[in-house]
Amino acid sequence: MSEVKGRVKRDHKGFLAAPAVLVWLAAFQAPCAHADEAPPPPSEESRGKSVAKFVAGGIVGFAAHEAGHVGFDLAFDAHPGVKGIRYAGIPFFAITHRHNLPPRQEFAISSAGFWMQHASSEWLLSRHPRLHWEHAPWDKGGFAFDVLTSAMYAGAALTRSGPYERDTRGMAASLGVDEHWIGAMVLAPAALDTYRYYHPSAGWAKWTSRAVKVGLVLLVLK
């Protein structure tokens, strides 16, 4: 997450990966069969173990998001650090870095979490196009984190609400554009990938999602 003051000051918060998000992710755990789809055989794995794997997948997704930020911080010698913060009275943490980086570096750092989510979702949906009908709680937890976190960030961007340090605001400030545009570009792949999850044969959704993801990366050249 990014804080902008003149040039963008970088702060990543884990506020969007709060435990409450993992509860929302459970919607992806219960597959429903289409009329032309045969349901898979029931798994012998316990419900508790499946839920634990699902939550673990979401935690790994969160770790990957933050690792993307930290990786670019280190690549740009931005001296990342960690500090405790509170949001809505709930304690979280922030990853910070030095000020006054070039705009392209600031944009890359702010965007890195989304890039990691997009790569993860693309890998999952390409390797498991029928993920919705598979018993794969770990993969479903990671995928659910990716799309729901993007949707929450997009909502904050489109309404200009939430913490000042949000990634979408940092991205917009680095580019000198309205945050609404960034929110739309973050929301589109989340919506399209959710559609792909339920309709894996929808080629238009797959290629549109990929085009937007690539476009979000290419903005670093702006």
* Band (9; pLDDT cuts 50, 70, 90): very low
CA distances from 212 to 73, 118, 140, 217 (A): 24, 10, 22, 9
Tell me: pLDDT of 159 over 80.
yes
171 within a domain of the structure (yes/no): yes
49 within a domain of the structure (yes/no): no
42 within a domain of the structure (yes/no): no
Which residues have a Cβ under 8 Å from the Cβ of 188 and sit 6 or more positions away?
Answer: 208, 209, 212
| Average pLDDT along the chain | 82
Res 89: pLDDT: 65
* pTM score: 0.79
Six-digit token string for 135: 């018993």
189 within a domain of the structure (yes/no): yes
23 within a domain of the structure (yes/no): yes
How far apart CA 172 and CA 84 sit, in angstroms, is 25
Tell me: pLDDT of 7 over 50.
no
Count structural domains, the chain: 1
Six-digit token string for 68: 């993307």
43 within a domain of the structure (yes/no): no
Q: pLDDT: is 190 or 34 the higher one?
A: 190
62 within a domain of the structure (yes/no): yes
**CA nearest 156: which of 192, 180, 188?**
180
Which domain covers residue 201, as residue numbers? Answer: 2-34+54-221
70 within a domain of the structure (yes/no): yes
* Band (158; pLDDT cuts 50, 70, 90): very high
Residues 105-142: tens digit of each pLDDT: 999 999 999 999 999 999 999 999 999 999 999 999 99
Res 34: pLDDT: 47
